[in-house]
Structure 1
Amino acid sequence: MSQSIAPVLTDQQVDDSPTLTFEEYRVYQGELDVQYELYKGKLIPMPTATVLHIKICEYLVYKLQRYLAAHNLDLVVKTGLGVRTDEDKSRIPDVVVCTQSLLEQAAGRPGAGILDFDEKPLLVVEVVSENRRADYVIKRAEYELANVPEYCIIDPKSGKQKIRILALIEGEDGYTHTDFFTGEEIVSVVFPDFILSVDEILNPPLVEELVKAERAELQESQQQVVIERQRAQEQRQLAEKLAAKLRELGVDPDTV
């Protein structure tokens, strides 16, 4: 998650908060309803997301889930899933795509749900909020170090709206990035035929409305199937009546 309000400490600042190991962080119990990331052993509290932030994440999860199902991929899309990026660093991206087996491994361990350093997700997504440097610089370096194949930064801030796709390209040293702006469509590197409108991501419809429309379309399709079946049955009955009439007249309907 990219909404940290805790500043990154410099060498000149004094920090007397406890330093945690990764294992201590995994089982750490802080304030209720507050998530924490780990940066150089220090806890970073994550504040409540804005409504736009929530809508963007829900829309991406909705689209990705349907994409993965349509392509019959054994992958999952999750929010709130941690990703360990270094010995004493762990992030909570807004959206994570990983294999089902990795999710099950994380579920089998005590404490928070976190993919360990050698359990790479295929894609992580961060929606930019106040701490822009964290998403564009600090987390970029962490995800690159962790060899995450694709890192997507969604920047909804007015006047700076864009989506940046950073990917590990064969033959390149580290991440290569491409920026997509309003009026364009993003193209994923990991999922090359997963294409979405930048405008729709930055100003997404409510997922509830999409689900309603999806259900209405399904019901209409089912009704059409029923109508076609009834029509076919009526044609069969008409054909049977015609055949019976021909037999009454001494005509074999199979020879007509």
Structure 2
Amino acid sequence: MNVTLQKLTFQDYLDHNDGTDVRYELVDGELIAMSLGTGKHGAIAEFLNDQFRDLIRQAQQPWTSKQMLIGVRSPRGRRWDTCRIPDVTVLMRSQWLEMSNREAVIDLSDPPPLLVVEVVSPSTRTDDYRSKRAEYGLLEIPEYWIVDPLTEEITICLLEHQFYDSVTYQGEQVLESPLFPDLALTAREIFNDLG
């Protein structure tokens, strides 16, 4: 028996409520349930979010960092819409405040976030390394981190003409982030500090 899935528009996605607490991304008009991920996945996202918030406060920047709270609408070049929910999103504080009375989604006409982080899990590996990398590049997000606990590597992608150049860090290598020049973290610290 074939099951026909009804494609959703972006507005359908924003209006969607199936009566559960399940969070969904929209990919080519289809709802994709987001799993909770492992404890390690959540701990890494929380650790990075805390690090970013500390650096933002110390540098007195007009930014904020949010963990899995913001959707990013994505141009896919196809007929149906896509909206991702990164594990961590850094954006202007004023942009976050503008969302206080509407859906927390960065739309195509909005300025892009300053940085997004995706923590890889076995089910998202291809999307994190390929699909999202292309989408985030088209959105002109200046910095995209792919944090891979499966290989204990962190790939920092920096935008150059809508495409990302990337550097991969592991072990005791200190990460270099243009957005956070005072960041003094190694890959090992991110994967080992799961408190």
Q: Does the Cα contact within 8 Å between 1:154 and 1:164 map onto a contact in 2?
A: yes
Q: Does 2:45 match 1:52?
A: no
Deviations 1:16-72 (CA, angstroms, capped at 9, x unpaired)? 211111111112113522110011111110011211011101111111111000000
Residue 138 of structure 1 is matched in structure 2 by 131
Offset, 1:192: 2.4
**1:106-129, CA deviations, whole angstroms, 9 ceiling, x for partnerless residues?**
2232xx421112321000000000
Spell out the pairing of 1:5-154 with structure 2 (5 A cutoff): 16-80=4-68, 81-86=70-75, 88-109=81-102, 112-119=103-110, 120-130=112-122, 131-154=124-147
Do the aligned partners of residues 144 and 202 (structure 1) sit closer, same or farther apart at CA in structure 2, a change above 3 Å counting?
A: same
Paired amino acid for 1:137: R
Is 1:193 paired with 2:152? no
2:153 counterpart residue number:
162
Distance 1:54 1:30 in 2: 24
Q: Secondary structure at the match of 2:54?
A: helix
Separation of aligned partners in 1, 2:144 and 2:19: 29
Answer whether contact 1:150 1:166 (CA < 8 A) is retained. yes
| Cα distance in 2 for residues equivalent to 1:96 and 1:30 | 26
- Structure 1 gaps of 5+ residues are 1-13, 207-256
- Runs of 4 or more consecutive aligned structure 1 residues displaced over 4 Å after TM superposition: none
**Larger gyration radius, structure 1 or structure 2:** 1
Report the Cα offset of residue 100 of structure 1.
1.1
| Per-residue CA distance 1:170-219 (angstroms, 9 max, x = gap) | xx56111110011211111222222311111112242xxxxxxxxxxxxx
Kindly state the Cα deviation for residue 15 of structure 1 after the two structures are TM-superposed.
6.3
**What TM-score do you get using the length of structure 1 for normalisation?**
0.69
Whole-angstrom distance in 2 between the partners of 1:47 and 1:197: 28
C-alpha distance in 2, partners of 1:76/1:18?
36
The structure where helix makes up a greater share of residues is 1
Give the TM-score taking structure 2 as reference length: 0.90
8 Å CA contact retained: 2:137, 2:162: no
Q: What percentage of residue pairs aligned between the two structures are identical?
A: 36
Quick one: which amino acid aligns to residue 128 of structure 2? Answer: D
SS at match of 2:175: strand
Kept after mapping to 2: 8 A contact 1:37/1:44: yes
Do the aligned residues in 2 keep the contact of 1:188 with 1:195 (CA within 8 Å)? no
Counterpart of 1:200, as a letter, is E
Task: Assess, with a 3 A threshold, how the Cα gap between structure 1 residues 145 and 132 changes in structure 2: closer, same or farther.
Answer: same
For 2:145 and 2:19, the matched residues in 1 are separated by 29
Task: Name structure 2 gaps, 5 residues minimum.
Answer: none
Q: What pairs with 1:244-255 in structure 2 (closer than 5 Å)?
A: none
Q: CA RMSD in A?
A: 1.6
